[in-house]
Amino acid sequence: MAINWSDLPPAPANDTADQRATRAAEGHPCLRCPKTATTAYVVQTEAGPRWIDLCKTDSDALVAWLHREIVVVELPTLANPSPEAPSSPMDALAEFLSTR
C-alpha cells in the first residue's frame, strides 16, 4: 500500500513541540497499526506539511530505521548508487510507513 501524502492530515508549517504534544495526546490512530498514536511527527511533503501519527512501537521502529538508512544505506549509496535504492528519501519513508 503506497502512501498518498495528500491523504494525511495537514500540519502547521512551523510546528512546535507543544503542537506535537497536543496532537499526540488527541488519540489519533497509528498510521502503521490499529493502536492509538502516542507520537506525532511533521513531515514536509510535496503536498505540504503533514502529520504522521505513530504508536510507541512504530515510533521506535521509525527512529531505528532512520538511523539505519542514514548511517548504513544513504552514505554508501552516495558513492555507490544501488539500482534497488528508493528514488528519494520521501519514497523510502513512504515504503517504511506502508510496511509492517
The torsion angles phi and psi of 24, rounded to 5 degrees, stand at -65, -35
Asked whether 55 and 84 are in contact (CB, 8 A), the reply is no
pTM: 0.74
pLDDT at 63: 87
In the predicted structure, residue 75 carries a pLDDT above the cut 60 = no
Q: What is the pLDDT, as a whole number, of residue 89?
A: 72
CA of 71: how far to CAs of 27, 55, 67, in Å? 32, 24, 6
Which of these, 63, 59, 86, lies nearest to 73 by C-alpha position?
A: 86
